[in-house]
Amino acid sequence: MLYPRETRTREVKDLSGIWRFKVDREGYEQRWFEKPLEDAILMPVPSSYNDITQDESIRDHIGDVWYERSFYIPEGWKDKRIVLRVGSATHHARVFLNGKEITQNKGGFLPFEVEINKFAQIGCENRLTIVINNILDWSCLPPGFIREYNDPMHPEGYKTQEYLFDFFNYSGIHRPVMLYTTSKTYIEDIKVETQIDDKKGIVCFKVVVNGEKKDECHIEATLYDKDGGQIAKVEGPEGMIEVENAIFWEPSNPYLYKLNVTLVRDGKAIDEYYLPVGIRTVEVKGKRLYLNGKPMYLKGLAKHEDSDIRGKGYDPVIAVKDFNLLKWIGANSFRTSHYPYAEEILNLADEYGFLVIDEAPAVGMNFFNKNEKVFTPERVNQKTLEHHLEVIRRLIARDKNHPSVIMWSVANEAATYEDGAYEYFKRVIDEVRKLDPTRPVTLVESSFPDETKVASLVDVICVNRYYSWYSDPGRLDLIEFQLEKELKRWFELYQKPVIITEYGADTIAGFHSSPPMMFSEEYQCEMLKRYHRVFDRLDFVIGEHIWNFADFATKQEVRRVMGNRKGIFTRQRQPKMAAFLLKKRWESMKENK
Ligand code: E9O
């Protein structure tokens, strides 16, 4: 799936802006899609709707909400193929154009698109309605369940949405909605893989063409350097371009070439698309991760798509600020915990030169067959698996060409010690390897080395660990003893490199304490220092990702003080003391530790 781009044959129209919005009471029965919404309020797109109004019933709404806006299709588009593309709608969407349903989507973190020529009015106003539903069950990723309270302390029919992941269940149209055009015969997909042979870079590409009379067309692929200088031009739907003395893509020099693909019929360019290309290889061998044949150490943080007011809505202001902070602090990588991020973020990661662990939205999968304390009869089941496989296919289809994406993570903190976990994740990981043999695969664990059943399936062991926080709280003195013992055990059992994908402490900016106490800035610093001493002693540790980049919103509960406070930055992106400690450490570290 290609990200919408303007070229000499394609136009893009961004429908971001102010939409009309209404919380559903009986929308479908009253056929709200047939005419303009009555009594609608205004809602910005992209954004989560939850924090925009002053109304707590909107913030905590469970069920459908309606979004609507009108747009014009220019006369000039009449011979074009017109596609509507929604960057993401969290979690389920039904889309109507001029009162007719044109598509549905399940899954809140990946784009979907639909050709609208049959339904659209060219040269006139069109009414677009998107109904979004935020209910999670065990056929969704992430999973969740509705809790019904049949007890005397709750009014009849009282229910809440429950979920086992630690971020607020924001909902809405979170990413740009765009219209774009192609010719009726069009470039549907391009896949690029790169290899390195000494100083030479090799760019292999494959183009999929679709639409009427596609057999009468031929393809021209041209590779340009950064300054627009042509390197080579080849013909055909697949091919290979060699770049002598190539500049390889890496964090210290994220050099991007440009692959231009043109579809030609009767000597005329009818469709054109281009793709930024970073020439790089990734490989895991022995105790190491290699980028372009050089061992790499990952310094960075796990993030969230989260900010004040916008919730999970994509905002270029926040995005660029975050990349500036990542650069400032000396990081070279991050994980898209716990779901695929906006494509705009990955485009920036390619450009800024960050190494990304790209994660599926599989979080809160805390049990397969036990844990009776959790009040739901349901568990991970066949439907969860089917959806998981579908999400993996769509994730790889979307992100396969990004040089920044160096590893796939299929899940976070699943109950990998339970029966069924191995069979489940074998299916998922096999699917990833089939679709993309070029990148390593991981599953982020919170299980212990002797209890997990899935470690044999992954290329890199990724572990989240909270010594002196969730276990032995306040016992900084135990960190080195416990952590070193555990990490050595991982290596002893599996002989694979290890990344610590989460470690950290809730820290309220401005709380101070000496000697350090939990929640103070000193405690966060002291904890990190002790973890780092262990990482520095172990040569199979190939990365450290702190939890979390910034404080973020969660559901309301007694362990959370206005959200999770493990950020190195506040939610407003101001540094805590630990940010300076990390900056010092990371700036003085070599690429390979
Ligand atoms: C997932 C992340 O989304 N990992 C959690 C983070 C946290 O701050 C959360 O925000 O809570 C930590 C998981 C901790 C596992 C606890 C193990 C307890 C052992 C006694």
Predicted confidence (pLDDT) per residue in 473-530, tens digit: 999 999 999 999 999 999 999 999 999 999 999 999 999 999 999 999 999 999 999 9
From atom 20 of ligand 1, which residue's Cα is the shortest distance away?
471
583 CA to middle of ligand 1, Å?
Answer: 24
Task: Please calculate the CA angle 504-509-513 and round it to the nearest 5 degrees.
Answer: 80
512 CA to middle of ligand 1, Å?
Answer: 23
- Whole-number Å distance between alpha carbons of 167 and 162: 12
Ligand 1: list residues with CB < 6 Å.
166, 338, 413, 446, 464, 466, 470-471, 502, 547, 564, 566
| Separation in Å, CA 264 to CA 219, 237, 267, 437, 560 | 6, 12, 6, 31, 58
The token duo for 153 is 């302390």
From atom 16 of ligand 1, which residue's Cα is the shortest distance away?
470
Which amino acid, one-letter code, is at 251? P
Dihedral sign, Cα of residue 317, residue 361, residue 16, residue 18: negative
Which amino acid, one-letter code, is at 65? V
* Element spanning 528, H or E: helix 521-537
The token duo for 381 is 């089941």
pLDDT of residue 271: 98
Which amino acid, one-letter code, is at 394? R
What pLDDT digit, counting tens, does each position of 23-56 carry? 987 889 999 999 999 999 999 999 999 999 999 9
* Element spanning 581, H or E: helix 577-588
CB atoms closer than 10 angstroms to residue 589: 16
| Separation in Å, CA 531 to CA 54, 395, 444, 539, 584 | 42, 33, 18, 14, 15
Which residue ranges in the chain fall short of pLDDT 70? 367-378
Q: 580: helix, coil or strand?
A: helix
Ligand 1, residue 559: give the atom nearest the CA. Answer: 11
pTM, entire model: 0.97
Residue with tokens 């919170």: 446
Mutate which of 335, 466, 503 for ligand 1? The one with the most ligand atoms within 8 Å of its CB, which is 466
ipTM of the complex: 0.97
pLDDT of residue 374: 47
- Whole-number Å distance between alpha carbons of 95 and 522: 50
Of the candidates 305, 413, 418, 544, the residue annotated as catalytic is: 413
- DSSP for residue 386: H
pLDDT of residue 368: 58
CB atoms closer than 10 angstroms to residue 101: 13
CB atoms closer than 10 angstroms to residue 519: 15
Average pLDDT over all residues of the chain: 96
Residues 6+ apart with CB under 8 A from 112: 85, 86, 89, 93, 103, 105
Task: Please calculate the CA angle 487-489-490 and round it to the nearest 5 degrees.
Answer: 65
Does the annotation count 386 as an active-site position? no
- How would you classify residue 555: left for phi > 0, otherwise alpha for psi between -120 and 50, otherwise beta? beta
What pLDDT digit, counting tens, does each position of 86-134 carry? 999 999 999 999 999 999 999 999 999 999 999 999 999 999 999 999 9
